[in-house]
Amino acid sequence: MLACRRLARPAFSRIRSLSTTTEGALTHENCDVVVVGGGPVGLALAGALSSSRVVGDNLRIALVEAGDLDKIRAWQLPSEKYSNRVSSLTNTSYAFLNDIGAWSYVQHERTCPVEHMDVWDGISDARISFDAAEIGTVSQNEGMARLTENLNLQRGLLHLLEKAPGVDLIHRTKVTSVTRESEGHGAWPIVNLDNGRRLRARLLVGADGFNSPVRAYAQIPSFGWSYDTQGVVATLIHRPRSAYEGPNTTAYQRFLPTGPIAFLPLSPTVSSLVWSTRPHIAQTLQGCDPSVLACMINAAFRLPQVSLQYLYNRISEAQATSTPLTPQQVQEEILWRETSHGIDRHSAMSASAAMGDAPIGIPPVNSELVPPLVTSIQAGSIASFPLRFNHTESYLGEGAGARTVLVGDAAHTIHPLAGQGLNLGLGDVEALAKCIENAILQGSDVGSYTALQPYARERYLTNHTIMAAIDKLHKLYTTDFEPVVWARSTGLEVVNELDSLKAAIMMTAGADGGKSGITAGWDMVTKGVETLDSAVKVARAVGGGIGGIVGTGVQTLIQRVSERTRA
């Protein structure tokens, strides 16, 4: 009757022997660590803990997941098909996964190194591009990050847990509530499952994502906002790069005023899309025929903003009247817009070539500045997620919420523009596992606030710095107000000169700048953004000068934008 699959072989039966206690009419099972959530972060924590001998000898661990982990364990796709949930893992995350022995269970051929990155501003066209070789710390052929399907990682972690048992995996089971066993200091939480089991937890870990029920139990407040943006994801199919262009290992990201669009390589002919945009545009895009979406993706990497806006409106109006545009009609619209912008049909900047013949011979000049033209979209791979910024006030529960700790998205959610969400979560896991191990060696109660404090201390500020930098970048780039764009482009020019800042931005893409340098790097991103911000202030001062002549209208406008940028 129990929908539970127990992988744990009682290797250390002295401790792991199930201790069941009766409290009134209800029985509960004592656990040292209960992890709620079998997403990539929860599974990585279970994996890290199970790979430590000290932890294995001392703690009884259970993981509860609502979904079906058997399905993930058996997950298999033909080699040319890819899941739409892809994360770029930094070299730090990669090293950690390697250390705990998980990486050897990740199907390596399905991952792809990012060797180059091209980031440009959709308004000013100012561009930074750099490659992995520029950073000394990156080892050969590793790239600055590795694009990995979340499912590939989760499956690998599940296989690790099979090989290094010790974690009681309770899946297809929901946590229905968490209650407190008594009123005293440091009372243990009781985790109530929908299959009737009750787990009494020395330490309760919330790896349960953005809507974390553990966070709610622990009454940990969080602050944040919705970006009023959806992240549209899809698996893209395209032609291979020609021999002249090199392999498909370049990640592209174009900052549009509606949000960035990213192209993340997975194989020579497949890449992953993360297109952050306004909800109504996302809705329009998701509502079109997949081949129309393919055309729009090609256009979004190439056409000026004004034309993109026109195309969104065209498609949306057609949808509203139930006469959706055909792919041919959209191609014609794009071609027409290109002609009006003076874009040569045969140049790299033309999106309309997509539906035409396969390119022959030498590719057009500068073809490496834009991603390959998308020819189709993998069936069923289009989805979207609301994007938000959220950070809890603390990672540790106190008082009535004692013995709780948060990791991953339960603790923080960020905009995916820098591909850092999961990496932050894996950083949490590494720190927490280390903290738990140290606490065991000191004979501490691993559920106590004192034992967990080093984890919170190590992660909170680091995460906060990175999150603030990403948030500022997002705000800076989602405006098309001219002084800001101008500041942005000069800023990017400056960026190009500064190796250290470049290193920081490479970490944005997922490279490892050396662990200790990470926050320093991100601080620099923030400072860089602040430099641009002061450029905006200059613009505002100029605006003030103009004010006397043109009137206060311009001034107000500038002020509004610069405030928005700083907010």
Ligand X SMILES: Cc1cc2nc3c(=O)[nH]c(=O)nc-3n(C[C@H](O)[C@H](O)[C@H](O)COP(=O)(O)OP(=O)(O)OC[C@H]3O[C@@H](n4cnc5c(N)ncnc54)[C@H](O)[C@@H]3O)c2cc1C
Q: Would you state the structure tokens that stand for residue 240, as one six-digit string?
A: 């291979």
Do 131 and 116 meet the contact criterion of CB atoms below 8 Å apart? Answer: yes
Q: Among the residues of 303-392, which ranges form H helices?
A: 305-320, 327-341
* Nearest distance in Å: CB 221, another protein: 17
Verify binding: residue 445, another protein, rule CB under 8 A.
yes
Verify binding: residue 64, ligand X, rule CB under 6 A.
yes
Verify binding: residue 101, another protein, rule CB under 8 A.
no
Residue 20 Cα distances to 10, 16, 28, 30, 176, angstroms: 16, 11, 6, 6, 20
Cα angle value 216/426/3 (rounded, 5°): 60
Do 339 and 318 meet the contact criterion of CB atoms below 8 Å apart? Answer: no
**Within 13 Å, how many C-alpha atoms sit on residue 186's CB side?**
10
**Pairwise CA distance, residues 541 & 40, whole Å:** 48
Q: Is 432 left (phi over 0), alpha (psi -120 to 50) or beta?
A: alpha
Do 480 and 487 meet the contact criterion of CB atoms below 8 Å apart? Answer: no
Verify binding: residue 149, ligand X, rule CB under 6 A.
no
**In sequence order, what DSSP letters do the residues of 238-252 get, joined into one string?**
EPPPPTTT--S-EEE
Q: Name the residue nearer to ligand X (CB basis): 257 or 408.
A: 408
Among ligand X, another protein, none, residue 234 binds (CB under 5-8 Å by kind)? none
Find the binding residues for another protein in span 189-208 (CB under 8 A): 202
Closest CA to 24 of 217, 190, 202, 177: 190
Query: Judged by CB under 6 A, which of 87, 192, 479, 508 binds ligand X?
Result: 87
Residues 6+ apart with CB under 8 A from 508: 418, 419, 420, 470, 473, 525
Verify binding: residue 528, ligand X, rule CB under 6 A.
no
Query: Judged by CB under 6 A, which of 8, 10, 67, 375 binds ligand X?
Result: 67
AA letter at 226: S
Q: Name the residue nearer to another protein (CB basis): 32 or 471.
A: 32
Query: Judged by CB under 6 A, which of 42, 372, 427, 528 binds ligand X?
Result: 42
Among another protein, ligand X, none, residue 56 binds (CB under 5-8 Å by kind)? none
Query: Judged by CB under 6 A, which of 231, 427, 447, 521 binds ligand X?
Result: 231
Helices 421-441 and 91-99, interaxial angle, to 10°? 40
Q: Name the residue nearer to ligand X (CB basis): 284 or 562.
A: 284
Q: Cβ atoms within 10 A of the Cβ of 341, count?
A: 13
**Pairwise CA distance, residues 85 & 287, whole Å:** 20
Query: Judged by CB under 6 A, which of 153, 274, 334, 432 binds ligand X?
Result: 274
Verify binding: residue 207, ligand X, rule CB under 6 A.
yes
Query: Judged by CB under 6 A, which of 370, 405, 422, 539 binds ligand X?
Result: 422
Q: Is 228 left (phi over 0), alpha (psi -120 to 50) or beta?
A: left
**Within 13 Å, how many C-alpha atoms sit on residue 316's CB side?**
13
Verify binding: residue 30, another protein, rule CB under 8 A.
yes
Binding piece for another protein, criterion CB under 8 A, among 374-382, 438-446, 492-500, 557-565:
438-446
Binding piece for another protein, criterion CB under 8 A, among 143-151, 219-227, 339-347, 437-445:
437-445
Q: Name the residue nearer to another protein (CB basis): 13 or 322.
A: 13
Query: Judged by CB under 6 A, which of 143, 421, 447, 513 binds ligand X?
Result: 421
Q: Three-state DSSP class for 191?
A: strand
Among ligand X, another protein, none, residue 528 binds (CB under 5-8 Å by kind)? none
Among ligand X, another protein, none, residue 450 binds (CB under 5-8 Å by kind)? another protein
* Nearest distance in Å: CB 186, ligand X: 24
Verify binding: residue 57, another protein, rule CB under 8 A.
yes
DSSP 404: E
* Nearest distance in Å: CB 349, ligand X: 26
Find the binding residues for ligand X in span 365-394 (CB under 6 A): 385
Verify binding: residue 113, ligand X, rule CB under 6 A.
no
* Nearest distance in Å: CB 138, another protein: 33
- Could you list the residues that contact another protein (CB under 8 A)? 14-15, 19, 21, 30, 54, 57-58, 184-188, 202, 398-399, 439-445, 448-451, 453, 457
- Could you list the residues that contact ligand X (CB under 6 A)? 36-42, 64-67, 87-88, 174-175, 207-209, 213, 231, 233, 274, 385, 408-409, 416, 419-423, 425
